[in-house]
Structure formats: C-alpha cells, structure tokens
Amino acid sequence: MGLITQTARQYYTLTEKFLGTGSLSTFTLTLDPLPLDINSFIVFINGNEIDDSNYTYSSGTGIINFSPSTPPAANAEVKVVLKNQKHGSYRYISLNDIVSNFMVSYVGDDKIINTARTLDVIFHVKRAIQEFSYDISRVEKIQEIEVGATLTVPFPQDYVNYVQLSWVDTNGIERILYPSTNTSRPSQSILQDSDANYLYDNDDSLLTGTSIATQRFKGIENTDTTGLFDDLDNSLSVSGLGQRYGNNPETTQSNGLFVIDELNGQFGFSSNLQSQILTLKYISDGLGTDSEMKVHKLAEDAIYKYVSHAVIASKANMPEYIVNRFKKERRAAMRNAKLRLSNMKSLEMAQIMRGKSKQIKH
C-alpha cells in the first residue's frame, strides 16, 4: 500500500470537499495529518462560512459531526479548509510511527531485542529527537518581532539556543547583529546605602532595583557602534577597541548589538534598534508540541540505531561487546544522517568554487 493517502487537490489546496445529502450529518476527513482541533480549520457550505458552534470535531477519528436536526442540504458543497497551510510533511515520519516500527522490527522473539517496554522506547525516541535537533537535523525556527521601548525581547517558548539575530531593512534584507562582549545584563542589581552596605527587606532578603549597567547600555550611542567609555578614557570608543590588536565583527559594523539575559530569558538590544523589525533564528528541541515530534526520513534509520543502542545499553548484565557493537552502528548511522541532511548540492558547490578560483585584478 502506498504512503500517499491524499489526492493532489487535498495536498496542494489543503482542503477537502463533501456533498450534502440532506440527511447525512457526519463527514470524515482524510487529510494527512488530521487537524489537531476544531480551531485548525474552517467549514464552508456553498461558500458561506459556518460557525464552529454548529458542529463538533474529533481529532482522533477526523469526524466532523453536524447537528442531526440541521444536516447540510442535499447537493450542498461542504468544504473544509485548513487555517495554517503547510506542505512537505511527506519527508517526515511521526513519533508514533517510529515507535510502532521499532517495536515491530526490533523487539520480540528472534529479534535483536527480546523484550522492551513501549514507554521505554518512547522515552529513548524523544531523547533521540532532541539530540538530532541540536546537531543533525538542526530544525531552525524563525520569529519576526518588533523591538519595543524596553529594548528587550523574550526567548521563544521552545527556545534552546539562538542561531542568528538580524534586523530587517526597508528592502527586506537581514542585517546581522552580534552579541556584545563589552557588557552584560546583571541578573540582580543590589540596593545599597550611602556606605555601600547591602539593604535587606523585612524577611532579610536582599533588596534589588533596576540595573544601572542595563540602563546605560540602552542609552549607548550605537548607531555607528561608537559608545564612549567615559569613566576610562574619553578617546576610547567601542569601534576603536580593535585598532591595535585587530578588529572583530562586534566592533566593525553599524547594525547594532545585543546582550543575553539567560536568567530572565531575554535578549537586550542597543538603542538604535528600537521599533526595528527583528528576525530571531533559533533551535528548538523538536518536542514543543505533538505535531513537532517527528523525524526527517533521511535520519529515520539513525533513529532506530540510536534507540536500539539506548535500550541495549540500559539493560542489566548486557555483555559489553554487544553494547559496543550497537554503539558503533549508532555512530555510523548518525554520521550518514548528518551527511544526508547537510543538503550539499554538487552544482551549487561547483558554482561557489568557480567564484573562489577567480583572480582578483588590481
């Protein structure tokens, strides 16, 4: 049986059509994947949008159920349209399919693993998805955000690490921002009296206030990255720090700077970035939502090898030579997956190399 269950119309338009009979009140969706909930799609009857209070939906079965007293009229066109239209899902395999395939192919009598609990396999598959997201599959998400007056942007909900921050100019081109190594965002700003003694609250906890370092960074004259260190040397600017010993990207560009507040989960930006549109590219662990727990098919075999080694290695009294054999297979499969997903194209590489080989005329 083929793996494609949708028609071309269903895939490219992400819609499904039914014909009312006047008595039929239930319609079963065959979209793959099925919508997660009733808020994921819109229902039209003869081109008119129907309020979702007129029907119910079961995500497990894909059944839309209208009230038996008011079924769609005979020959009425019932059209279901997904709100968030996404394509390319065929290249991924879901968590449930990975677990089911592993239990069928790897676990049982005369298999490489005699017994394994499904819950254990699910745990190891999730760990594999996390590890692959960090290094192999590298699923990068991109958020577009406007910087407000506070000059801060919170970490995304499923944030693990950032890849790149940029602001977008009027032509839609990204201007890369670099993290500042010349300042930081204190997690605590401790209040002190005139003698520099710490101040305490009624419960003997430290009193804290607004960070002075953060406020000064907000006011830095950073349109050309030339804020002055007034307390050290009025002639020393940020852009001049590398003049004697060499420059770095932070001090040789005028796009702006950012700092990271790990404790509070925020990015802080220089003042020239207020009201600018940012793009934040970041890595997620692939486990944020149920729909994200999937693996690229080019890494499917590596997932099975990873899980089989994890299950074998966690068993008591397992001979070390067997564990090492599975470990070698896991490493080889992960290396192959990384090469596959590196997405290197020979024609593109050849074009780049042609540019590298050009002579520069003086």
Could you write out the DSSP letters of every residue in 220-265? --TTTT--B-TTT-TT-BGGGTTTTT---GGGS-SS-EEEEETTTT
Q: What is the rounded CA–CA span in Å between residue 191 and residue 270?
A: 25
Residues with Cβ < 8 Å from 110, sequence gap 6 or more?
none
Tens digit of each residue's pLDDT (9 = 90 or more) over 262-320: 888 999 888 888 899 999 999 888 888 877 888 899 999 999 999 999 999 999 889 99
**What percentage of the chain reaches a pLDDT higher than 70?**
88
Q: Is the pLDDT of residue 235 over 70?
A: no
Residue 65 burial class via C-beta count within 10 angstroms: exposed 0-12, middle 13-18, buried 19 and up: middle
For residue range 79-95, list pLDDT tens digits in order.
999 887 777 888 888 89
> Which residues make beta-bridge pairs with 57?
64
193 and 229, same domain (yes or no): yes
Residue 1 in domain: no
Answer whether the bond into residue 72 is a cis peptide, omega within 30°: no
Residues 305, 329 contacting (CB under 8 angstroms)? yes
Same domain, 334 and 301: yes
Are the C-beta atoms of 72 and 102 separated by less than 8 Å? no
Identify the pLDDT of residue 245.
55
**Whole-number pLDDT of residue 226:** 44
Residue with more model confidence, 343 or 194: 194
Q: Is residue 29 part of a domain?
A: yes
Residue 187 lies in a domain: yes
Task: Give the Cα-Cα-Cα angle 101, 106, 112 (nearest 5 degrees).
Answer: 175
* pLDDT tens-digit readout, 3-16: 887 788 778 888 88
247 belongs to a structural domain: yes
233 lies in some domain: yes
Establish if 324 belongs to a structural domain.
Answer: yes
Please provide residue 192's backbone torsions phi and psi, each rounded to the nearest 5 degrees. -135, 155
Token pair 């003042």 is found at: 271
Residue 71 and residue 13 share a domain: yes
Residues 171 and 234 in one domain: yes
| pLDDT confidence of residue 196 | 87
What per-residue confidence (pLDDT) applies to 26?
92
Containing domain of residue 251, as a range? 162-262
| Predicted structure pTM score | 0.71
Same domain, 258 and 295: no
User: Are 229 and 205 found together in one domain?
Assistant: yes
Residue 58, in any domain of the structure: yes
**Residue 41 β-bridge partners:** 82
Residue 27 has pLDDT above 90, yes or no: yes
Q: In the numeric block, which tokens belong to residue 42?
A: 């819109």
| Domain total of the chain | 3
Residue 159, both tokens: 């944030």
Cβ–Cβ under 8 Å, residues 184 and 212: no
The Cα 115–Cα 108 span in angstroms is 6
**194 shares its domain with 243:** yes
Whether 215 is covered by a domain: the verdict is yes
Residues 17 and 46 in one domain: yes
Residues 106, 68, single domain; the answer is no
Is residue 45 within 8 Å of 78, Cβ to Cβ?
A: yes
